[in-house]
Amino acid sequence: MNSPKIAILTYDGVNTFELGMAMEVFGLPNMGPGWYEVVVCGDRRRGATSSACGIQITASRGLDALDEASTVIVPGWQDIDALPPRIILQRLRAAHARGARIATICAGVFVLAATGLLSGRRAAVHWAQAEALARKYPDIRVDASVLYVDDKDILSSAGRAAGLDLCLHIVQRDFGARVANDVARRLVIPAHREGGQAQYIPRRLQPVRNAMGDLQAWIRQNLEEDLAIEKLAQRMRMSRRTFIRRFVEAAGIMPGEWITQERITHARMLLEDTRTSIEQVAALSGFGSVDTLRHHFRSHLATSPTRYRACFQKAVPDRRRGR
């Protein structure tokens, strides 16, 4: 069985964590015959490259390795506003034209975007860089909601750790689920993570603006109440239509959507910081039933309350055991 050839690209400003994770996954030893052949390649005419954290990296191969690789891994790029070296862009275009599969990790998507190969395609990116990518390359269909995107010959991942998810996905494509599970067990990481990026975006309270601020503050303190639009309009002594218009002016979204977001935010806090049962979380956050809570977590966070808690539960002291 011929071994797939992986070329991991390095350049000045490369993210060492992302380069290292690709080496760990694809360069894992003792995986048997046919496992990947991995090289780290770069523009050796410039000597060693300096990573984003100052570590000097000497590539084992020059950029000619891209001409032989079946898969090219592009780790994170430090300066997303800078144009990558022309030689790297040319080599990536040539590798893709030859039939190589190209995968980017985190800000590495900015390098591939500069080649033009992502034009008209969907690409994943870290949620904090989504606006910058969309603004700089408006012809790319930016998706900041997922951990990675598999567009057959071009793949992209979101944040740094999402690169592990993408690398495992590539292993599964090449060798099947059993081998991918073996790799995950050896690295002590999940073979597949539930949900998308939404569950990792920091919670932000909506800023208080104009007369609606007091109402929004009251809603946050009474999420378990019946917050029907008609009742809120009466509380503000407005008609339903006027209330909706004023609320949208203040919050930027419809009141029902805003309330749902606040309920999700409160539920996330309870799941992260307390041992409150899922049933109580549903009641205290105003969703009423566990089924409704699950529905909104699936719709907005692409995961379940139980899995969310397992991922984000903090160490809450167990007072019954004196800890």
Q: What is the pLDDT of residues 135-188, one digit of tens each?
A: 999 999 998 888 899 999 999 999 888 999 999 999 988 998 888 888 988 988
Query: DSSP letter at 28?
Result: -
Closest CA to 203 of 278, 121, 261: 261
State percent of the chain over pLDDT 70: 89
Query: DSSP letter at 320?
Result: G
Q: Give the model's pLDDT for residue 208.
A: 40
Please count the residues of the chain: 323
Q: What is the pLDDT of residues 195-233, one digit of tens each?
A: 666 655 555 444 444 467 788 889 988 999 999 999 999
Whether residue 148 contacts residue 109, with contact meaning beta carbons closer than 8 Å, is answered with: no
Cβ density class 55-79: b for 16+ within 10 Å, e for less = eebebebebebbeebbbbbbbbbbe
Q: What is the pLDDT of residues 226-252, one digit of tens each?
A: 999 999 999 999 999 999 988 887 777
Q: Give the model's pLDDT for residue 252.
A: 73
CA–CA separation, 311 vs 19, rounded Å? Answer: 25
Domain annotation for the chain: domains and CATH numbers: 5-193 (3.40.50.880), 212-312 (1.10.10.60)
Q: Give the model's pLDDT for residue 214.
A: 84
Q: What is the pLDDT of residues 33-69, one digit of tens each?
A: 999 999 999 987 777 877 777 788 889 899 999 999 9
